[in-house]
A = this chain, B = another copy of it.
């Protein structure tokens, strides 16, 4: 079974780890590809950082800091401290010594002319994540955030990382332009991974700046809408709040309520329920919501054409996460019939 995921960082990483656990324990013959958001990527200190790719790679490869959810375990921050003593900005980004080696290798390979997809493959040769990681694009794409400027009536844009990490998403976001999207091409294998999948899963990643960013890459939305595979998403919103991260600050910027239902409606159904078989304009066939807090959502979504189920949705550990993945695959299986 070919399973393709469209994922951001921490949520996508943990979901994929649960999926691998489910595959291993169920004996499912699965070939998993994860199309990863690269809109969070940033060049810092002359080094190219790919936070989402690294979070997934480290999580699946056993190198992640479980406590932080990002970066390496047993991490030290010696280089960052020294950079600070040189007065080099930024100082608000936590760049560990172990982590830094990844960025050094990546930057050197990019400088030598290798595309990001090839670099990712090379890095994964060490980490053996057990899945194929595909950057959404080999082209440089950066999510920026438009916020109010200091002077009334003005606006300014900052890199997503600065908004997210430095300002903790506290500056009201007005828009999330994806810089470079007008010329960027999908990464090698990305569209094929979607069109050739048996199931497409959307992990509980940020619907705006993770999955939403991947959806902006040329051809991705069309591939999702055209694939023969069922597309099943897992709500990142449980009981009206993000499970992790600050997705609410992103959703409000695009006028979407922070509810499991609103996010499903934002993604939209691939096939509308009424009239039967009409184009729903969206990307979803199925949608998992949390049974403890959002059990009314499946009924509310029934009229949209999105088949929704309520199951325990908290990724408290690998086993619980594997159960969510199993439920998503079961829903997909039912949708295929």
Contact = CB atoms under 8 A, between A and B. Distances in A.
A337 interface: no
Residue from A76, A79, A102 having most chain B Cβ neighbours under 10 A: A79
Interface string A75-108: 0101100110111100000000110111011011
A46 B76 contact: no
A126 interface: yes
A29 to B, nearest CB: 31
A113 interface: no
Given A46-B111, A97-B97, A105 B83 contact: yes
Contact of A101 (B83, B98, B102): B83
Given A76-B78, A78-B97, A46 B104 contact: yes
Contact of A97 (B76, B105, B123): B76
Contact of A102 (B82, B98, B105): B82
A19 B86 CA distance: 26
Interface in A44-86: 45-47, 76, 78-79, 82-83, 85-86
A33 B85 CA distance: 24
Given A46-B107, A76-B76, A98 B82 contact: yes
Residue from A98, A101, A102, A111 having most chain B Cβ neighbours under 10 A: A101
A86 B105 contact: yes
Contacts of A107: 46
Nearest to A88: B105
Interface in A95-137: 97-98, 100-102, 104-105, 107-108, 111, 122-123, 125-126
Interface string A132-170: 000000000000000000000000000000000000000
Contacts of A45: 104-105, 108
A311 to B, nearest CB: 39
Contacts of A126: 85-87
A236 B103 CA distance: 41
B79 A100 contact: yes
A45 B110 CA distance: 12
A330 to B, nearest CB: 39
30 contacts: A45-B104, A45-B105, A45-B108, A46-B108, A46-B111, A47-B104, A76-B76, A76-B97, A78-B78, A78-B98, A78-B101, A79-B79, A79-B100, A79-B101, A82-B97, A82-B98, A82-B100, A82-B101, A82-B102, A83-B101, A83-B104, A85-B126, A86-B101, A86-B102, A86-B122, A86-B123, A86-B126, A87-B126, A88-B108, A100-B100
Given A82-B102, A85-B101, A86-B122, 15 more contacts: A45-B104, A45-B105, A46-B104, A46-B108, A47-B104, A76-B78, A76-B97, A78-B101, A79-B79, A82-B101, A85-B126, A86-B102, A86-B123, A86-B126, A97-B97
